[in-house]
Structure 1
Amino acid sequence: MLDNTYLTFDIGGTKIASGVVSLPPAAGAPPQVSDRCEIPTEAQSGGDEIRRRLVAFAEERLRACAAQHRHIDGIGIAAAGVVDAERGVIAAATDILPGWKGQRIAEAFAAVTDLPVAMVGDVGAHGLGEAIYGAGRGHKTVLSLGLGTGIGGAYIVDGRLVTGAHGVAGHAGHVVSGLGKGFLCSCGTTSGHIEPVASGSGLATLYNHERPADVEPAADGREVCERAALGEAYAGRVLERSARALGECVAGMANLLDPHAIVLSGSVVQAGPVWWRALRDGFMDGALELVRQTPLIEGELGGAAPLIGAAHAVRTARRGE
């Protein structure tokens, strides 16, 4: 039996997704996600306007739920940026969302609803969803990695998200790799982070940086993967180098944290067998002997993961857990 239903939001640089999530009383049962919809973020309009559009979207969604006589127990938010979950404030953000830093999201929602509101980082929410209800369920500790336009991560212990002293725990894309040396990372450094050469956009960056004169530039990571699948040797080599370097970084994270399982999600994990083989090779090369047995699992929940994780976060907050 499903015991709690939450209105959830996933705020990204391109879109704000929403869904109604009903969570089961036990983690082993599947949640239900319904009434999914989205609006464009319109990031260029600035943080104040994004906040206003988010709240207006929420009000519209709450009215629709009321019209359907659907009871909502709380609001869960998965937000881009570094989140101060206790205060409901965006503590830090990149230029992907100009003016997003400092936005007081919980305060804005309190002005329009009496429902409990909980906010966590979007990658953290994704990790919670996968760890508790998705590919990581049944594992005591889970390292979740989101590999898309950027690279993020989350560490979940006994169903709880580890956020760290400053809320930045899980920034897996900012682990150092020799392959990334000299490439500009989204955080502003060129010291060698893995994100600018192993994310979706990073695959294209690496491909275009070293491409032979007779090879056309790739528009994005998807095109690199398509060219590799069609047999282009250069694209295949780029995928292998990128995935192996990422695997070595994942091994370093696993050596430090020793999780029971590692879940990988996002567009990059669809890169194909060449990518997965090189990732596993890099992981095996870098992992300590006992850590090598840690399973590398592809995520199951897709875009529903952060919505489910946000619902879990607000249910946990309601219960004071």
Structure 2
Amino acid sequence: MSTYLSFDIGGTKVASGFVTLPQPLNGEQEPVVTNRCEIPTEASRGGDDLKARIVALAAQQLERASAEGIAIAGIGIAAAGVPDSETGVIVSATDILPGWRGQHIYDAFAEITDLPVRMIGDVGAHGLGEASYGAGRNSDVVLSIGVGTGIGGAIVMHGELFTGAHGVAGHAGHVPSALGQGFLCSCGTREGHIEPVASGTGLKDLYNHRCEELSAADKPAPVSSGAEVASRAAAGEQLACSVLADSAHALGECIGGMGNLIDPDVIVISGSVVKAGALWWDALRAGFTDSALALVKPTPLVEGELGGDAPLIGAAAAIDRYVRANHMEPSKA
């Protein structure tokens, strides 16, 4: 077994941990995550500051590993934005992380360690983790969809993350949906993407929009989160039930289209919104069935198994593949 130092860099926090992977890949044993810690992203302080604090955290984690006699074989990074895995540069990032675009991550880590480093996108890492060791293990083609604050995706083929010609393959939230028409997407369009009406934030916005269309006598108080929509639906509120069902059905239709294009063995759905309950899942599967081709309809839609550890495990899987592909015999844990 090999142990890697992993990072999950998000808009709210940066998580880190030691991930010990079983060998061979996709064996019966499960990965183990230890020495978890995190720091706030504090995005407003800028990309330079964030990079410096991540490297400082890495130095602390490597010191901890040395003190505990843990041999670290490499460093895996799941990064927000669109990273270039070959150069270690963040080639694109949204305004959620100002100054993150253009950061040279590999160069920064080289100042503190000679260990090999591999960086992939955070949503891609989540998908790679689930495909390798979670709900998609032992499947050749896995489509992973994350439905949380936003919506992202990853395509894993025969154990390898498919990133596309420009590193943006898997942006599942930015596919067309009539339900999203007029709602502002995080990518800047109002032309009808699924993310602004089916993510956690989208559920809130869709609910509050429909609230405004009701008469004063029938109008409930607005919600502050998608979780509140799910809670009201569970209590039987008609508006919340219709919003949850319409949103999930539209997302299911989009996933059906993705299934038609990719033809995966399994579709893994993860993120906070998957906890919305049976109404959400039933509508999601109904939308998928309505949209999927006959040969794609039987494709199972399953809930992810790794939870918050998925990006850390996926980042470790990425560096493990890199180490082995380049004949760098990993240290044994």
Which category of TM-score, normalised to the shorter sequence, fits these structures? over 0.9
Task: Give the match for residue 305 of structure 2.
Answer: 300
Q: Distance in 2 between matches of 1:18 and 1:159?
A: 23
- CA displacement at 1:229 relative to structure 2: 0.7
Task: Give the match for residue 183 of structure 1.
Answer: 183
- CA displacement at 1:197 relative to structure 2: 0.3
Specify the code of the residue in structure 2 equivalent to 1:60: Q
Matches within 5 A, 1:132-151: 132-151=132-151
Residue aligned with 2:191, SS: coil
Task: Give the match for residue 89 of structure 1.
Answer: 89
Q: Distance in 2 between matches of 1:305 and 1:195?
A: 21
Q: Distance in 2 between matches of 1:167 and 1:310?
A: 16
- CA displacement at 1:178 relative to structure 2: 0.3
Residue aligned with 1:178, SS: strand
Task: Give the match for residue 329 of structure 2.
Answer: none
Consecutive unaligned residues in structure 2, runs of 5 or more: 327-333
Task: Give the match for residue 6 of structure 2.
Answer: 8
- CA displacement at 1:37 relative to structure 2: 1.2
Consecutive unaligned residues in structure 1, runs of 5 or more: none
Q: Distance in 1 between matches of 2:46 and 2:150?
A: 21
- CA displacement at 1:136 relative to structure 2: 0.4
Deviations 1:270-318 (A, max 9, x none): 0100000000000000000110000001000001000000001001111
Residue aligned with 1:22, SS: strand
Q: Distance in 2 between matches of 1:131 and 1:87?
A: 25
Task: Give the match for residue 113 of structure 1.
Answer: 113
Task: Give the match for residue 285 of structure 1.
Answer: 290
Runs of 4+ more than 2 Å apart: none
> What is the TM-score when the length of structure 2 is the normalising length?
0.95
- CA displacement at 1:150 relative to structure 2: 0.5
- CA displacement at 1:49 relative to structure 2: 0.6
Residue aligned with 1:180, SS: strand
Q: Distance in 2 between matches of 1:145 and 1:86?
A: 25
Residue aligned with 1:186, SS: coil
- CA displacement at 1:181 relative to structure 2: 0.6
- CA displacement at 1:245 relative to structure 2: 0.2
1:316 alignment partner, one of 295, 317, 321:
321
Task: Give the match for residue 195 of structure 1.
Answer: 195
Task: Give the match for residue 244 of structure 1.
Answer: 249
Task: Give the match for residue 64 of structure 1.
Answer: 64
1:25 alignment partner, one of 18, 23, 26:
23
- CA displacement at 1:138 relative to structure 2: 1.1
- CA displacement at 1:39 relative to structure 2: 0.7
Matches within 5 A, 1:203-222: 203-211=203-211, 212=214, 213=216, 214-222=219-227
- CA displacement at 1:320 relative to structure 2: 1.7
Q: Distance in 1 between matches of 2:223 and 2:296?
A: 36
Specify the code of the residue in structure 2 equivalent to 1:292: K
Specify the code of the residue in structure 2 equivalent to 1:260: D
- CA displacement at 1:210 relative to structure 2: 1.1
Residue aligned with 2:319, SS: helix
Specify the code of the residue in structure 2 equivalent to 1:243: A
Task: Give the match for residue 38 of structure 1.
Answer: 38
Q: Distance in 2 between matches of 1:13 and 1:47?
A: 11
Task: Give the match for residue 127 of structure 2.
Answer: 127
1:262 alignment partner, one of 267, 281, 288:
267
Q: Distance in 1 between matches of 2:236 and 2:38?
A: 37
1:226 matches 2:231: yes
Q: Distance in 1 between matches of 2:226 and 2:95?
A: 21
Deviations 1:193-240 (A, max 9, x none): 100000010100100011134211100101111111111110000000
Q: Distance in 2 between matches of 1:253 and 1:190?
A: 21
> What is the TM-score when the length of structure 1 is the normalising length?
0.98
Specify the code of the residue in structure 1 equivalent to 2:45: S
Residue aligned with 2:293, SS: coil
Q: Distance in 1 between matches of 2:132 and 2:319?
A: 14
Residue aligned with 2:308, SS: helix
- CA displacement at 1:67 relative to structure 2: 1.0
Q: Distance in 2 between matches of 1:106 and 1:205?
A: 38
Number of residue equivalences = 319
Specify the code of the residue in structure 2 equivalent to 1:300: E
Q: Distance in 2 between matches of 1:57 and 1:138?
A: 34
CA RMSD in angstroms, aligned pairs only: 0.8
Specify the code of the residue in structure 1 equivalent to 2:305: E
- CA displacement at 1:161 relative to structure 2: 0.2
